[in-house]
Structure 1
Amino acid sequence: MTRPIAWVTGANRGIGRGISAALAARGFDLVGTDLDENDDTRTTGAMVEEAGGSFRFLQGDIGHAGDAADLAAAAMRDGPIHCLVNNAGLQTRQRVDILELPEAEFDRLMAVNLRGTFFLTQAVAKAMLADEAVPGRSIVSITSVAARAANPMSAAYCMTKAGLSMMVRLFALRLAASGIASFEVRPGLIRTPMNSDDLRPYLAAFESGRVPYRDWGQIDQVGKAVATLASGDIPYSTGEVINVAGGFQIEQIA
């Protein structure tokens, strides 16, 4: 790999795939991590290559925090990571009232969405600090409008995304003096395989104007936001939140 390297977790499909393709179009080679290598992986790889980048798959489970250092070392096999994109994440299997949230479900989301992502970011940040010759590095974490908008029926998801949002700011403060930026990209209602089962709650948000654009966001729109940040096109900035949400984040008065 001769171009700068971006490492995208949860790269097999959905938003991770769109981010990978957008980064390749902006001059990056990609390392993509997911649970398994399969047809989805190959589709992502083909899209990256079509956009001009190379793609290397690295199998891993972000939820195993104890493996973070080894996984990071494997990702950097071909050179330093210019941009880490924390995209891997889980949604609740079934919406359930916060008073009935099972411990196992809470732990499942916490392990991937926050705990594992934190220790992976920590490992990459240490490596970035050890190699100060690489300029313009960044860490971009994909959260959700649920980091700020509460829903007692998706409590574990909201709490993990809110925690991840704080993590972004903490790393921004710690790494800024070394020229490493930390950003948060906060998608709204993006049409992905994760939300394809029951569209009714989302359609209601469009019809009511709760989402001012009154339509789905697209995967490639999130990818473009990440690629803009990773490419250094918003200099002298860190700790920022970029909403890709069609205005969903705007507080409205009824």
Structure 2
Amino acid sequence: MTRPVALVTGARRGIGRAIGLALAEAGHDIAFTDIVEDAAGLEAQAAFEAAGAAALFVRHDVAALDTHARLIDAVTARFGRLDCFVSNAGIGTPVRGDMLDLAPASFDTVLGVNLRGAAFLSQAAARAMLAAPGSGRTIVFVTSVSAELASPERADYCVSKAALAMWAKNLAVRLAADGIGVFEVRPGVIRTDMTAGVAARYDARLAGGLVPAMRWGEGDDVGRAVAGLASGAFGFATGSVIACDGGLSIARL
């Protein structure tokens, strides 16, 4: 039988790689992207293939809107279909600090990748899915608890994720009648290269009870959540937000 095909952006390492591996283990072939092409990308591809997937790597900058159509074409040319799109690629705030000092250039850079790039690539993926109807198709946006929880020292990042969350809701409404489920997964404090620079700070806050689960989240936690959504079993729950954060975002007294 033909395996379903998933396209995962930013899957060379970290959360994206964990998502790609979970999808490969769940029976998907994997197309994946990253802005960097290096040994880590080769290792990721080997891991996907070892899990039974055919894998295609495409070096790609999600912020370059004029390349989106070529990326989708490369995926469909290789696999003949697109069943799942996972919008994972993103960047953190370039400079943490007082939001009153936030530079427009930093704001534009973060929103260019995390919002503008993600939104318009999902648009291209949705068009490809509509052009070749099937069943169990899904679009998953990996955002952040920062879509809801404020961090004034990185307000540009929070705004990008909050805006992408609203894009996901609108896309869910647009595609519901076409049988394409759209979901948002919000990771919390996840152990990745992006959080490595502030690991000591989060170690202390985790010890103090910041996360009810009392541990770091791992890429596998997010990967399993995305793979579950990509199974098609939650199609009627389109528009749902999955908090993958160990209880961090639950309001508490």
Would the TM-score normalized by the shorter structure come out above 0.5?
A: yes
Deviation at 1:2, TM superposition (A): 3.4
- The aligned counterpart of 1:96 is 97
When structure 1 is superposed on structure 2, of 108-117 and 61-70 the one drifting more is: 61-70
1:95 and 1:149 map into 2 onto residues whose CA distance is: 16
When structure 1 is superposed on structure 2, of 204-213 and 80-89 the one drifting more is: 204-213
- The aligned counterpart of 1:220 is 220
Q: Percent identity?
A: 47
Q: Quick check: 2:179–2:235 contact (8 Å CA) kept in 1?
A: no
Deviation at 1:127, TM superposition (A): 1.5
Deviation at 1:214, TM superposition (A): 1.2
- The aligned counterpart of 1:49 is 49
1:199 and 1:136 map into 2 onto residues whose CA distance is: 38
Aligned length: 252
Q: What secondary structure does 1:236 align onto?
A: helix
- The aligned counterpart of 1:207 is 207
Q: What secondary structure does 2:80 align onto?
A: coil
- The aligned counterpart of 2:184 is 184
Deviation at 1:100, TM superposition (A): 0.5
TM-score (norm 1): 0.96
- After superposition, what is the alpha-carbon deviation per residue over 1:91-113, rounded to whole angstroms, capped at 9, x for unaligned? 01221211111111111111110
The AA in structure 1 aligned to 2:45 is G
Q: What secondary structure does 1:81 align onto?
A: coil
The AA in structure 2 aligned to 1:111 is G
TM-score (norm 2): 0.96
- The aligned counterpart of 1:125 is 126
- The aligned counterpart of 1:193 is 193
When structure 1 is superposed on structure 2, of 167-176 and 74-83 the one drifting more is: 74-83
The AA in structure 1 aligned to 2:61 is D
- The aligned counterpart of 1:115 is 116
- The aligned counterpart of 2:163 is 163
> Which portions of structure 1, spanning 4 or more consecutive aligned residues, are displaced by more than 3 angstroms?
none
1:14 and 1:190 map into 2 onto residues whose CA distance is: 9
1:204 and 1:158 map into 2 onto residues whose CA distance is: 22
- The aligned counterpart of 2:138 is 138
Unmatched tracts of structure 1, length 5 or more = none
2:152 and 2:161 map into 1 onto residues whose CA distance is: 14
- The aligned counterpart of 2:88 is 87
Unmatched tracts of structure 2, length 5 or more = none
